[in-house]
Amino acid sequence: MKTGNLWEIFCRVIDNYGDIGVCWRLAVGLAGHGQRVRLWVDDASALDWMAPEGAPGVEVKPWAQSLQIADLHIGDILVETFGCEIAPEFVAAYKNRMASTGQKPLWLNLEYLTAEGFAERSHGLPSPVMAGLGAGLTKHFFYPGFSAATGGLLREHDLLERQSRFDRPDWLRQRGIEFRGERLVSLFCYEPPALGELLDRLSSDPCPTRLLVTAGRATAAVKACVDQRNHSLPPWNARGNLSFSYLPALRQRDFDCLLWACDLNFVRGEDSLVRALWADKPFVWQIYPQRDDAHHHKLEAFLNRLKAPPSLRVFHRVWNGVSQAVLPALDLTQWQQTVTAARKLQLEQDDLVTRIIRFASKNR
């Protein structure tokens, strides 16, 4: 496929920035491979702090209820992300353009990341559009995943080189964090039921710990938990073994640095899970909760893919509210070995952008 195709990526921001985070990384990755990208977003405000510098080759467009497309040159490839539905008039214009140019259309449905078996079975499958303005077109499912039979994981071409140059003390110093050799733990979470138990565990641990708390829901959850303990159990952190640094909203690249800087990372959602894997540090994942507890199966599938040891499995289940057991002890040595082995296997595979460009070349 010759370079310079125009990709139209559509994204709806739900509530936790993961959708737009993944879409932005995809858009930047495609542009880095010589593609042109228009990213249609219903709420692009998160990009003001997530990627304030923008990216060459990526144009961000507002996705309003009704798109003004009369004078718009429709792109070559449509990508609807995470089940969002592209405006019918846009699909009709795309269909007409492909018919007039004689080009084969390509309409991709980028799905959520999962380690479940259906991702391999469904990846790449066609789905004919039978009704509406897009009737006659065909969507293809594109599933990110952890095996060669899926769409892979997002990974920048310069990631390992950037990671090798990372200066932890300098990065921390620039953020006003006085690092004295204590254990560093990052916290990016929703409201995990075992948060209070974790704080108690860290405060009573003889190893001093600094908790680097991300902005938003994690900060609100931690402050509420600390206030409750200060009120009901004033001596809970009397020795001061647990200290806190509350962080501002971070650019995507600074979030990577946060994970590289820490000895243990608590992450949530899809984008940060992948970043935690690339960071090559022990991590605990809080999965986005779904109806009927469907996320429980998704969590188990990931733990199986990770080949997680028993302690890490139990910790994940308690952290996600699947189990009411007590949090097990932190076994960072064994968890580190697990993550390093899993990361090595993923680095041996092509990244998602390479695979999606290859898929487009094959199917257009």
Is 156 in the active site? no
Is 111 in the active site? no
Of 8, 80, 200, 270, the catalytic one is 270
Q: Identify the burial level of 94 via C-beta atoms within 10 angstroms of its C-beta, where 0-12 means exposed, 13-18 middle and 19 or more buried.
A: buried
* Among 51, 43, 16, CA closest to 251: 51
Instruction: Kindly tell me the number of DSSP H helices and DSSP E strands found in the chain.
Output: 14, 12
Rounded Cα distance, 221 and 228, in Å: 11
Residue 261 CB partners (closer than 8 Å, separation 6+): 166, 168, 171, 172, 184, 186, 212
| Cα 197 from chain centre | 26
C-beta of residue 143 within 8 angstroms of C-beta of residue 151: yes
C-beta of residue 283 within 8 angstroms of C-beta of residue 264: yes
Q: Look up tokens 């932190």; give the residue.
A: 330
Tokens of 355: 């695979």
Rounded Cα distance, 353 and 228, in Å: 45
Of 19, 80, 256, 351, the catalytic one is 19
Q: Look up tokens 């718009």; give the residue.
A: 72
Catalytic (active-site) positions: 19, 270
